[in-house]
Amino acid sequence: MSQEQILLPPGTLWTSVKQTTKHALQCGALQSIPTDFELIEQDGVKFLVRILANLNRKKAATEKQSPDFNPFLPYEQDLFVADISPTHVCILNKFNVVDHHLLIITRCFEEQESLLTQADFAAMGACLADFPGLVFYNGGKIAGASQRHKHLQIIPVADTEIPITPLLKTAKFADSLATIPGLPFVHAFTILNPDEEAEITLHKYHQLLQKVGIQAIDDNLQSGAYNLLATREWMLIVPRSAEEFTSISVNALGFAGALLVRNSEQMQLVKEVGPINVLKKVAFPL
């Protein structure tokens, strides 16, 4: 575990998640968005493509907000899950599509387009130590970020349940960094050790960024948009060229093999084009 100060008592996060979820549903703070889904297979990957059954609830709530509204400062107390560290707290995602979808947010305002820090990775590690999950980060609006306030996201899922896992097993390494032959766009991949310090994870993150041509500019801001995916075992970074493909928005979960469409027309388009080709269109093709 990291040398960063961690306030979260080990082994307590999952219990807190379930308790807060029950409370937030009862009081109406948690407003889950129902979905149906289809599995679309391409190149050995079974993509999970969800179709939103009802977006009206989220649309009505967001239309009432001013353009500079920050839902994380302050955050809703009814969504609070746990104090992670002096710099980070964990809350529920108010408009969740996946059960127990958590946000790891900074207590003070930090730009979503600023590079991740050692404190961010310490908070991430503390959460992943409690239960297996997929952490994802949308680095900038083009990468799918809907809020400017820095927030990592985590969904509870085992590595074996992540659709792109079969591709990751084919990783081609050059020293500590790798590429995945089945991903036809610019990316970089590395292995993580659950027991390593946040400082080491931060170093690997910077190696991945350098590999894909992203660097720090002006007060630690990123030079380009990107998506990050991480589990206890690995980390993947994909630079982004566009926010959407013909009105189909893509965030980091798309690169894990989970896409979200708004209607049957978009679902049909994904089937015709192919999920990997959709990802290729919003990344940088090789």
151 is catalytic: yes
CA torsion angle for 181, 280, 225, 258 (degrees, to 10)?
-90
Task: Decide: 64 and 56 in contact? Cβ < 8 Å.
Answer: no
| Count of all residues that appear for the chain in the document | 286
Identified catalytic residue from 100, 101, 149, 151: 151
Q: DSSP code of 275?
A: H
> Distance between CA 42 and CA 126 in Å, rounded?
35
How far apart are the C-alpha atoms of 235 and 198, rounded to whole Å? Answer: 13
Asked if the bond preceding 86 is cis, omega within 30° of 0, the reply is no
Contacts of 113 (CB under 8 A, 6+ apart): 139, 140, 145, 148, 221, 222, 225
Residues tagged active-site: 151
